[in-house]
Chain A
Amino acid sequence: MHFSGLRVVKEALTGHRGWKPLWRNPDPKPDYDIVIVGGGGHGLATAYYLAKTFGKTRVAVLEKGWLGSGNIGRNTTIIRSNYLLPGNEPFYEFSMKLWEGLEQDLNFNAMVSQRGIINLFHTDAQRDAFRRRGNAMLLAGADARLLDQNALRQILPYLNYDNARFPIKGGLMQPRGGTARHDGVAWGYARGADLRGVDLIQNCEVTGFRIENGAIRGVETARGFIGAKTVGVAVAGNSGRVMAMAGQRLPIESHVLQAFVTEGLKPLIDTVITFGAGHFYVSQSDKGGLVFGGDIDGYNSYAQRGNLPVVEDVAEGGMALMPMIGRARLLRSWGGVMDMSMDGSPIIDRTGIAGLYVNGGWCYGGFKATPASGYAFAHLLATDRPHATATAYRLDRFARGFVIDEKGVGAHPNLH
């Protein structure tokens, strides 16, 4: 079923009786060439690129709940490639380029909106750091513009520039950054993978790994044993507990991150803004709600809900940045489980077990990475070699001393 404007008109004239479910709901086969654990954004993107780019179609995605029921269904939808370090920036720029062609590629409306992202700075030192980051972005083929306060006032007149403690001196803008419809991304990848023959198996929790002589043979699931000589794990916040079933300890702690949305307001914020003095980021959805968030709560959690002190902290950040936000009423808040790694950067790598691969440690930046993460993980699963942009995301980088620590805070997952 091909989506197009013509199709919409035709269905409107014929009573919308021609729409079909976006994917099949198959029973698991006894074995596959490749099994992907986790039917979220990264797992579905991996399956899509395995089928499309690498020609692998005897592939299954195993999801314990429904497709897209984890962090891909509960994030603040920001896409960007404004990183500093050489291990990160080429990868995220590769992701940004995939975002730019995603909807045509998938024939699915993921509402990719390149409305720009602006990181504010508040001191001269922070301006220097942002100038350096902007140059690193340009060197990696991304786009960046340093805005002074006057230029910023033209774009965002409603910010509190004269805050006595955190005056806003300017911002680093990435015009190609923006937002995307998070569920649409998962659904688009799921449909694309299904159309190419991948089995998407829901309500199929993996309960163990079958490992013989140091090599993976398959996975035990709630729906029986499924054989596979190649298994990729992409389970975000549950990386630690899933890999523990394979006897692996990861450099990851699971933490809770909260996010918030207000009631619908008239068009107000036509970009993405991040407050550089605290930790606060805000954009406006197409329905009008202000979507915003801040820091993680800071303690290990699988609860998918946070506590009030962080709600207060995020609200204070919002009030310091743009005082008028205090007049908006909060519609809802939610929490997701983040796989916080020891250096704040992800892992896409082999494990100590032949045929078992892991994709995790995305901290709270996994959404923007979805296309490149899927592509790079598919590359690794199909060829056993890392993709050119993901060579730094090794599991053993901590032992070798090659950490990718954007914030420079060391092995403290709750500070990244």
Chain B
Amino acid sequence: MLIPHPLLGPRDAQEFTYLGDARLLDRPAPDTPDAEAAFCAYVYLRDNPAGVHRELWYHEQGDRSWLVVTRDTLTHEILGAELAAGIVSARPETAV
């Protein structure tokens, strides 16, 4: 598999390590009443779809960036990749 790195162009998937569902970017707030249940779901539960899946890949043997890769789990076709840092910094709650 070739991952279209937004800065470096197509890179072999072997340069990356895989973490999983991109919803791991959505860390729950620790100070809400249901934080314990929310963290349990965050750590352990997954949607696990057959089809389009947004997932985190770490360019460990490259520029050490985290990417959010959109990939079809039925065909392994990669539909896009973007910098995870860009997604997080574009959110209103992380704007400074």
Shortest beta-carbon distance from B11 to chain A in Å:
13
- Number of B interface residues at 8 Å Cβ cutoff, please give it: 25
**CA A158 – CA B13 in complex, angstroms?**
35
Closest to B36 in A: A399
Check if A240 sits within 8 Å of B48, measured CB to CB: yes
**CA A399 – CA B55 in complex, angstroms?**
24
Return the contact of B76 from the options A238, A303, A309, A411 (Cβ within 8 A).
Answer: A303
Check if A300 sits within 8 Å of B73, measured CB to CB: yes
**Would you give the 0/1 interface string for B40-56, flagging 1 where the beta carbon is closer than 8 Å to chain A?**
11011111111001010
Chain B interface helix/strand/loop/mixed: mixed
Does B90 belong to the interface (CB within 8 Å)? no
The segment from A170-178, A247-255, A316-324 found at the interface with B is: A247-255
Does A19 belong to the interface (CB within 8 Å)? no
Check if B46 sits within 8 Å of A252, measured CB to CB: yes
Does B75 belong to the interface (CB within 8 Å)? yes
Does B14 belong to the interface (CB within 8 Å)? yes
4 tightest Cβ-Cβ pairs between the two chains A and B: A240-B48, A249-B45, A398-B44, A251-B44
Return the contact of A399 from the options B20, B40, B75, B76 (Cβ within 8 A).
Answer: B40
Check if B1 sits within 8 Å of A250, measured CB to CB: no
Check if A254 sits within 8 Å of B48, measured CB to CB: yes
Given the interface pairs A254-B73, A413-B20, A414-B20, the reply to whether A300 lies near B48 with Cβ below 8 Å is yes
Does A221 belong to the interface (CB within 8 Å)? no
Closest to B20 in A: A253
**CA A303 – CA B75 in complex, angstroms?**
6
Does A301 belong to the interface (CB within 8 Å)? yes
Check if B73 sits within 8 Å of A250, measured CB to CB: no
Closest to B41 in A: A249
Does B74 belong to the interface (CB within 8 Å)? yes
Check if B45 sits within 8 Å of A250, measured CB to CB: yes
Does A244 belong to the interface (CB within 8 Å)? yes
Closest to B53 in A: A300
Check if A302 sits within 8 Å of B40, measured CB to CB: no
Check if B45 sits within 8 Å of A302, measured CB to CB: no
26 A/B residue pairs, CB under 8 Å, sorted by A = A240-B46, A240-B47, A240-B48, A244-B48, A244-B49, A252-B46, A253-B21, A253-B46, A253-B48, A254-B48, A254-B50, A254-B73, A298-B18, A300-B20, A300-B21, A302-B73, A303-B75, A307-B13, A309-B13, A342-B43, A398-B43, A399-B37, A399-B40, A411-B43, A411-B44, A412-B20
Shortest beta-carbon distance from A384 to chain B in Å:
24
**CA A374 – CA B58 in complex, angstroms?**
39
Closest to A309 in B: B14
- Which residues of chain B are near A307, meaning CB under 8 Å? 1, 13, 76
- Which residues of chain A are near B71, meaning CB under 8 Å? 299
Interface residues of A in 235-274 (CB under 8 A from B): 238, 240-241, 244, 249-254
**Would you give the 0/1 interface string for A328-352, flagging 1 where the beta carbon is closer than 8 Å to chain B?**
0000000000000010000000000
